[in-house]
Amino acid sequence: MYDHILFDIADSVATITLNRPDKLNALTIEMSQELVHAQKQCARESGVRCIVLTGAERAFSAGQDLQEFQMLEGRATVGDHLRRGYHRVVMGFRQLEKPVIGKINGVAAGAALGYALATDLRIASDKASFVPAFIGIGLAPDSGASWFLQQLVGPAKAFELLATGVRLDAQEALRLGIINQVVAPKDLDSTVSELAQRLAMGPTRGIGLTKRVLNKAVGHNLADTLEYEAQIQDIAFNTGDHKEGVAAFLEKRPPQFSGR
Ligand code: T3D
């Protein structure tokens, strides 16, 4: 069905794999289109309750395919290229009201660093690395890398990383708060799979609304956020999973969340 990604749904978890391993899964226009298509399917299908984003073989992704990039010259502005492709993918992950795990199996560079940071939490192999590669080719950050990094590490560190393009190993990324966990390569599949299953069995609407409120809180003051939280809680309060959670607590049994 797709040429540049793999897409698989099993046990309520959708796995999207960036799949151009001979080019370190470098990003193309076609890959962006396929990612947007897959994101829409994940949003639409109630049977999908968690999404995992990863790369095939040794890399997560080397960012924009620089050969394709050269061919684009003169055809569209870079800004339009970003708007049509990367922006839709990044916003797609942020607006998907289901948990998205970044399974960072290898290097994540340039725009692919933006994709990794657009996930909700990141589990990395200790072979993974993070390269804000934009500056290496004389570009400024895009794909949300400036926004995400500044949120995660603060402005001074974000500037240092983006202006030097330094390659961070997984342990350093963990220390800086860029990722959630580092595991041995042999444990990456099982760690992510267990987490994905746990999230997929959770109250999906409540998790989605949590994501919505966190997205909104950035850039708003406390008073506005309190009001928005109240509006969101009205929605969460009316879900079946909320009723089930309360009933299970009172009946002293584990909850059976349905995602509704
Ligand atoms: O509108 C727009 O699109 C602008 C948006 C731009 C967003 C961006 O993503 S800008 C950043 C683009 N990416 C880069 O500049 C990264 C370039 N690659 C690297 O710096 C390194 O390859 C890595 C740090 C990612 C990995 O290093 P390493 O040592 O593990 O692998 P390698 O030996 O450098 O690369 C392996 C092969 O992949 C090699 O090909 P070969 O020699 O085996 O035939 C290399 O040329 C190829 N490759 C790596 N990155 C890319 C790539 N081919 C095309 N595009 C790439 N980005």
Query: What are the tens digits of pLDDT across the range 173-210?
Result: 999 999 999 999 999 999 999 999 999 999 999 999 99
Give nearest CA residue, ligand 1 atom 37.
Answer: 23
**What's the rounded Cα separation, in Å, for the pair 250 and 45?**
31
179 CB within 6 A, ligand 1: no
Residue 69 confidence (pLDDT)? 87
- The span from the first CA to the last CA of the chain, in angstroms, equals 29
**What's the rounded Cα separation, in Å, for the pair 103 and 81?**
26
Could you give the maximum distance between any two Cα atoms of the chain, in Å?
A: 66
Residue 72 confidence (pLDDT)? 82
Give nearest CA residue, ligand 1 atom 23.
Answer: 62
84 CB within 6 A, ligand 1: no
66 CB within 6 A, ligand 1: yes
Catalytic residue among 65, 120, 142, 241: 142
Q: Tell me the percentage of the chain whose pLDDT exceeds 90.
A: 89
Task: With CA atoms as reference, report the closest residue to 167 among 91, 78, 59, 43.
Answer: 59
Pair of tokens at residue 239? 């879900």
CA distances from 74 to 28, 39, 69, 71, 140 (A): 17, 30, 10, 8, 19
Give nearest CA residue, ligand 1 atom 18.
Answer: 62
pTM > 0.85: yes
List residues bridging with 17 in a β-sheet: 6, 54
Count Cα neighbours of 215 within 13 Å in the Cβ-side half-sphere.
19
CA distances from 205 to 9, 38, 210, 232, 240 (A): 19, 20, 8, 11, 9
Sequence-ordered list of residues with C-beta below 8 angstroms from that of 178, at least 6 positions apart, any chain: 117, 122, 130, 149, 152, 153, 168
Residues of the chain with pLDDT under 50: none
Q: Which residue in the block uniquely carries the two structure tokens 């220390």?
A: 175
78 CB within 6 A, ligand 1: yes
30 Cα: distance to centroid of ligand 1 (angstroms): 17
177 Cα: distance to centroid of ligand 1 (angstroms): 25
Does the active-site annotation cover 87? Answer: yes
Mutate to test the pocket of ligand 1, among 22, 24, 31, 72 (most ligand atoms within 8 A of CB): 24
